[in-house]
Amino acid sequence: MRPLTHGARPAGVLGDEVWVKLVDVDEPAPTNPATLAFLTMAMKPSIRADFRSGDGGKTAVYMTRWVNTQGEKGPWSEIATATVAAQQHALRGVDR
């Protein structure tokens, strides 16, 4: 099997800064990174973002950038979006 190289972490990179902003469904995704809030420094290829239950149905807008071991930051990624899932709470001990 050939090693996976597309999207791989470049040499000398510490991790990936992940920034996010929640917007309403009818609101356009922001294109200015300054409007997003820092979420996490990802050291692995996947992350989990937790949102409040009231944010269900909103759109999470993400941008990322590499950070090397000297703290230098790379260019911003393209915008990625995902719909925030609505959380359902189980009702226990309730007759239906």
Reduced to 3 states (helix: H, G, I; strand: E, B; else coil), residue 53 is helix
15-55 per-position pLDDT tens digit: 999 999 999 999 999 999 999 999 999 988 888 899 998 99
- Report pTM: 0.78
Determine the 3-state secondary structure of 88 from DSSP: coil
Query: pLDDT per residue over 53-92, tens digit each?
Result: 899 999 999 999 999 999 999 999 999 999 999 866 555 5
Q: With contact defined as beta carbons under 8 Å apart, do 61 and 78 qualify?
A: no
- Is the dihedral angle over the CA atoms 79, 80, 81, 84 positive or is it negative? negative
